[in-house]
Structure 1
Amino acid sequence: MGTSRNVERRTILKAAGATAATLGLAATTGCGGNSGSGNGTVTIRYAWWGAEERAKKINQSIALFEKKYPKIKVKTDFQDYVAFWEKFQTQAAGGNPPDVFQNAVGFLRKYDKRGILLDLKSQVDAGNLSLDNFREGVTKVGEVDGKQLGIPVGSNTMALVIDKKAFRKAGVEAAPGWTWDDYFKALKTIYDKTKVPGDTGYFGIMYLYDVYLRQNGKAFFTDDGLGFEQADLTEWWTDAYNRVKAGIITSPKIVEQDKPQSSLSAGHAASEFTWDNFAVRYTAEGDSDYGLAPIPTTDGKDTGQYLASLMLSGSARTSHPKEVAQFIDFMVHDAEVGKIMGYDRGILASTEQYDAFKPTDTVAKEIAQYEEDTAKAGVLGTITPHPSGADTVEAAFLRISGDMAQGKSKVSDAVKQFFDESEAAFQA
């Protein structure tokens, strides 16, 4: 799971909603084209999104799996985020999705609604897949309406990445329990003293707004729609627009010009909200000193945070549910796989893998410590439900907020447009 600006999370409009009507046909079409052989060997198809480095690690892990299960062969397929979901929708519409695939919470209800996802509880009951030895609360991410539709491979939570040098130069500190008022005052101080905007654009990150809403007794989503009112978003975006115009927030035009680099690592901001495990990108991209800071709060206590996760799901059309379950079980529990994968997809979800991997670089150590400290603080709640269409809604939130911040639309018009597009996405 990541910020809206992360390549794995942004520009999903093409991959979401465009073929929703077609996908409705998938529930009535055939079985997956899985293969078997006369000697009892079966082949399952595994697909994921990510870069070449992730592919190398996954292929190493698969080699270990095939050594342990010589009668199961794994055929692999991977693309970048957008291409993955485009291809997946085509395969799902044709009744032939991969047997097992990487998934995220925003897609669970969408594809469960279309009969694409395998309820893995039957395989847990059969002893082919274990839900034991997971870090507390992680498996809840893959639960929908009493069904286990995904098994987490890693976890992450929202965090604030700061340019430590900029914060020190401005004489401000990101301290546990600080409030949103403290945060925005810090941004103004940073801008006044360094002429660098304080934040890259918090207002367009759906998952951050969810955290803020949770701090105030609401949530971004309910089971079947939005959990907040137009007045709530009007206030959020009005304040953001004023801060952009005041120079406290990076201009969206500069954010676009900096892509694919973050404006934080480009030196055009002093902080950025993101998923904690994405912190590695800033050290790789920039030349300052970056670190993880606490989420601002409304009351000085409740951060609204929860664990999100990338996960593995199975196809309801697979001819080999047992083998799919055995593969998932191996990939999430095997200690050697944990050592290979590291924190590529978040902090390792099972205790076997979490204990097996010992981070050696400074950034990975800080990410692990951040999640450990957050868990100890007792602030982590249960992830907000994501209704069918949540992926399209997230893309709309990012796009419309960006137009609003650039003055292409009035705040009132942007809010109305977002609610209209969200309603259409939920009904698709």
Structure 2
Amino acid sequence: MRTSRHVERRSFLKAAGASLATVGLTAAGCGGTSGSAGGGPVTIRYAWWGADDRAKRINESIALFEKKYPKIKVKTDFQPYLDFWKKFNTQAAGGNPPDVIQNAVTFLRKYAARNVLLDLRPQVEAGNLSTDNFRSGLEKFAEIDGKLLGLPVGSNSMGYIIDEKLYDKAGVTPEPGWTWDEWYAGMRKIKSRTGVAGDSGPHSIMYYYDLRLRQQGKAFFTEDGLGFTESDLTAEWTEAMKHIRSGLFTSPKRADQVKPKSATAAGLSAGEFTWDNFTVRYAAEGKSSYGIAPIPTTDGKKTGQYLGSLMLSGTARTKHPKEVATFIDFMVHDPEVGRIMGYDRGVLSTTEQFEAFEPTDRVSKQIAAYETRIAETGVLEPITPHPAGADVVESAFLRLATEMSLDKASPGEAVEKFFTEAKTAFTANA
């Protein structure tokens, strides 16, 4: 059994590597020298977003780090996602950001352009940080103009989370390669046979629309702007409003009433698009059983998927780049940290941690099986670059799609406002 499991995992690493070998982004950052040349104890600050369970896991991992490196103390801070970035923006503007942050691709170019992020490449060359044993391609995820601005702690991909009981009751079975027409037909059958909306409404999810675009040979972002037109988005949002009014998508007002619980976990829809590692929230919030279904396709083959990742980045103003590198190295390579963190931030990114974590719960097994399957089938593609200002654009997309769904704006009006705000965001971050 053990041997078979390792063969399966190695197969996943090989398949993922073939799809991700060309992953890469572009921009700038800077570094410094360690402030601990005299060998005295130092304290570094580490900030991330997440909830209490993530904090518990991270603090347990830090305790291991401090035991191994007693001269390095780690002061921690965590916030919910939006609060984290508000606080970090203020700290970065004031010249006092944390030494290490949890980071995401949406923010790389923005903070690289402002020279906020530490180039970790010198620390790799000095032997303080290893880029070995990453699932092939992931070590390049935060590589920008030859500078290394972070290392991934895990990977995830977009999935379609379904309420398995509702799908079974309606007699709908999602299969790899199913088309959007089959997806819509399945939702209509679910609505007819169960009275529940087929989907929570994907119109406000930027990464869902990115998949749709990538299946058509486009993408949400190019290196310096948007990769689609106003007419593209008007057609998409007009179609979404039709499905909201027909009841095929969940009523936005009802979905808003159950927040922060998701519409699917609340029993208001049979499925919704989200990152595969978020599957854990459905088991915690809902009363049904939930699975990860394949992404529908345009041609029965191309899903537009890629591996995304949370990462750890250092900040350029740190006085302790060596200690920052030592900490990041430990957090991404140490096997015991992998066992502690599990798939909280995605499927573990290094072979040491990937091999060390033995999934025992149903949800973690589902996530691992899903990412193994999409890697082996060869659907994964390189991620497209996220230009500086992408975070502002994503926020505008969510807000304006929500306003439209609540009949506060027509699709055309919402699209016009979105393109205006996107242009302003890109100009401000150029």
Asked whether the equivalents of residues 140 and 382 of structure 1 are also in contact (C-alpha less than 8 Å), the reply is no
1:129-150 residue CA offsets vs partner (Å, 9 max, x unmatched): 1111111332232223332211
- 8 Å Cα contact 1:153-1:349 kept in structure 2: yes
C-alpha separation in 1, matches of 2:124 and 2:407: 52
User: Does the 8 A contact of 1:35 with 1:44 survive in 2?
Assistant: no
The answer (yes or no) to whether the contact 1:107–1:391 under 8 Å persists in 2 is yes
Q: How far apart, in 2, do the equivalents of 1:147 and 1:300 lie?
A: 38
**Residues 265 and 286 of structure 1 are in contact (CA less than 8 Å); yes or no, is this contact kept in structure 2?**
yes
Gaps of 5+ in 1: 1-26
Q: Does 1:138 align with 2:138?
A: yes
Q: Counterparts in 2 of 1:135-284, with a 5 A limit?
A: 135-284=135-284
Distance (whole Å) between structure 1 residues aligned to residue 221 and residue 279 of structure 2: 26
Give the corresponding residue for 2:90.
90
Range with bigger deviation, 54-63 or 291-300: 54-63
Q: What whole-Å deviation, never above 9, does each CA across 1:147-184 have from its counterpart, x for those lacking one?
A: 22111001100000011111111111111100111111
Distance 1:87 1:402 in 2: 25
* Alpha carbons 2:211, 2:303 under 8 Å: kept: yes
Residue 316 of structure 1 aligns to a residue whose secondary structure is coil
* Structural mapping, 1:56-135, within 5 Å: 56-135=56-135
Answer whether contact 1:36 1:43 (CA < 8 A) is retained: no
Whether the 8 Å CA contact 2:151–2:313 is kept in 1: the answer is yes
Runs of 4+ in 1 over 3 A off after TM superposition: 34-39
1:37, CA displacement in angstroms?
A: 9.9
Partner Cα separation in structure 2 for residue 247 and residue 371 of structure 1: 32
SS at match of 1:274: strand
Quick one: which amino acid aligns to residue 233 of structure 2?
A: L
**SS where residue 418 of structure 1 aligns?**
helix
Aligned partners of 1:159 and 1:292 also within 8 Å: yes
* Residue aligning to 1:364: 364
CA distance in 1, matches of 2:172, 2:206: 27
Letter aligned with residue 336 of structure 1:
E
Q: Distance in 2 between matches of 1:70 and 1:414?
A: 54
> Shift of the alpha carbon at 1:122?
1.7
Residue identity in the other structure for 1:106:
T
| 1:314 partner letter | G
TM-score by length of 1: 0.90
The 8 Å contact of residues 36 and 320 in structure 2, kept in 1 or not, is answered as no
Give 1:35 deviation, angstroms: 7.3
Amino acid at match of 1:233: L
Secondary structure of the 1:203 match is: coil
The CA distance in 2 between the partners of 1:145 and 1:222, in whole Å, is: 16
Q: Which digits, 9 at most, give the CA deviation of each residue in 1:174-197, with x for residues without a partner?
A: 111001111111111111221111
Q: CA deviation at 1:41?
A: 1.6
Amino acid at match of 2:325: A
Contact 1:359 1:365 in 2 (8 A): yes
Structure 1 Cα separation of the partners of residues 251 and 74 of structure 2:
46
What does the per-residue CA deviation read over 1:254-305, in whole Å, with 9 as the maximum and x for residues that have no partner?
1101101111011110001100000011111111121110000111001100
Amino acid at match of 1:103: N
Partner of 2:383: 383
Structure 1 vs Structure 2 CA RMSD? 1.8
Q: Deviations over 1:23-69 (max 9, x none)?
A: xxxx99xx99x976976222211111111221121111112112222
Please say which of residues 368-377 and 122-131 is displaced more in the overlay.
122-131
Deviations 1:175-228 (A, max 9, x none): 110011111111111112211110001111101111111111000001111011
Q: Decide whether the 8 Å contact of 2:35 with 2:320 is kept in 1.
A: no
Query: Which residue of the partner structure matches residue 324 of structure 2?
Result: 324
Q: Report SS of the residue matched to 2:317.
A: coil
Deviates more, 1:168-177 or 1:34-43: 34-43
With the length of structure 2 as denominator, give the TM-score of the two structures. 0.90
